[in-house]
Homo-oligomer: A and B are copies of this chain.
Amino acid sequence: MATIHDVALRAGVSPKTVSRVMNDHESVTAKTRERVREAMRALDYQPSTVARVLRSQSAPAVGILMGDPSGGYQTRIHHALMVACLQNGRHLSAELVEGDMAGWQDRIRAFVTEGGVREMVLLPPECDFAPLKALLREHGVRCVLISPTSPDSLSPSIVMDDRAAAREVVEHLFSLGHERIGHIAGHPDHAASTLRRNGFNEAYAAAGKPRPDPALIVPGDFSFKGGLAGAQALLDMDDPPTAIFAANDDMAAATCMEAQRRGLKLPDDLSVVGFDDAPIAAAIWPSLTTIRQPFDQMTQRAITALNGWSANEALGKGAATILTQHSLVIRESTGPVRAG
């Protein structure tokens, strides 16, 4: 493995100049720069991240905290973040945080100081955990929040417009002729649940229709089981809805299952819409119409925010809220309302 010295020797300059070239320092002659570049190429030189971290006390890594991945959400963000890091020449460093958070402070401290992590991406629910954010700030770690319940005045947030997305879902159903639309709400602790329900209601108002029957909104908890219960409640009604909008894909899948169990044909007898575009949405039959959370874009924006942090700081409080663009993915689970 070639070191900076080898490169310097070959280019006939000092190591420091090589360092300057690597870090895009301004004051290097174009000629020298090219000579150094050439030497790097010739020696297939790869600067040692470790040495750099040791000296400069900061790594080019983006940290992320992970818990149990069974929900799927974290995993997808994690994957998207790895891709984003890769594209930005960064490295992703993950630390486990779950269950009994006993001694979590020490764990985080070690993660940050040992790994030299100076920047982190925080996911729900950690992105709303004030003590954690305070600890990180204390250690000079810059954070970007993904879908926090409420924006933070010190860290930029990457969010999607859950309310608008829910409205789009309902408008899509309206366009198919559905009037009685059921909604299985999300877990009451999640801010997104409220936003999605509000969007559901707003769509009626925006279309100049009367407020939907409150009985058509049933509670849920984002789980398959919760979705099953919600679907049962809705389909047991005397005047059941012709379409059901579940606050996430797991519950929507459960709804499909329950409907098929009752002998309903999808989407003829019932249209179902989910939210998230989780793997299950494309896997099951009928595949789910759903809202695609733009994970790629979210993580890309997160890295961009981190990259341009200094600019952000100059820009103001650094508390920007970055909105990402979701999209309605229409698949097989929605169709025109049955005539009659």
Contact = CB atoms under 8 A, between A and B. Distances in A.
Interface of A: 1, 46, 48-51, 53-54, 66, 68-70, 72, 75-76, 78-79, 82-83, 86, 91-94, 96, 110, 113-116, 223-225, 228, 250, 254, 256-257, 260-261, 263, 279-280, 283-285
A285 B257 contact: yes
A66 B49 contact: no
Copies in the complex: 2
A94 B96 contact: no
Ranked nearest first, the 9 interchain pairs of A and B with the lowest CB-CB distance are A224-B283, A260-B261, A82-B96, A70-B279, A75-B75, A49-B114, A50-B54, A69-B75, A50-B53
A255 B33 CA distance: 64
Given A70-B279, A92-B94, A260-B260, A114 B54 contact: no
Contacts of A256: 257
Contacts of A54: 48, 50-51, 54
A137 B98 CA distance: 35
Contacts of A48: 54, 114
B223 A283 contact: yes
A82 B53 contact: no
B285 A224 contact: yes
A110 to B, nearest CB: 6
B284 A254 contact: yes
B225 A283 contact: yes
B228 A115 contact: no
Given A50-B114, A50-B116, A75-B75, 12 more contacts: A1-B113, A46-B110, A49-B115, A50-B50, A51-B54, A70-B279, A224-B283, A257-B257, A257-B260, A257-B284, A257-B285, A263-B263
7 contacts: A48-B114, A51-B54, A66-B82, A69-B76, A83-B96, A92-B94, A257-B260
A104 to B, nearest CB: 12
Contacts of A83: 96
Contacts of A49: 114-115
A274 to B, nearest CB: 14
A149 to B, nearest CB: 25
Contact of A285 (B70, B75, B76, B225): B225
Contacts of A113: 1, 46
Contacts of A96: 79, 82-83, 86
A195 to B, nearest CB: 24
A263 B256 CA distance: 14
A263 B263 CA distance: 6
A284 B250 CA distance: 9
Contacts of A254: 284-285
A78 B69 contact: yes
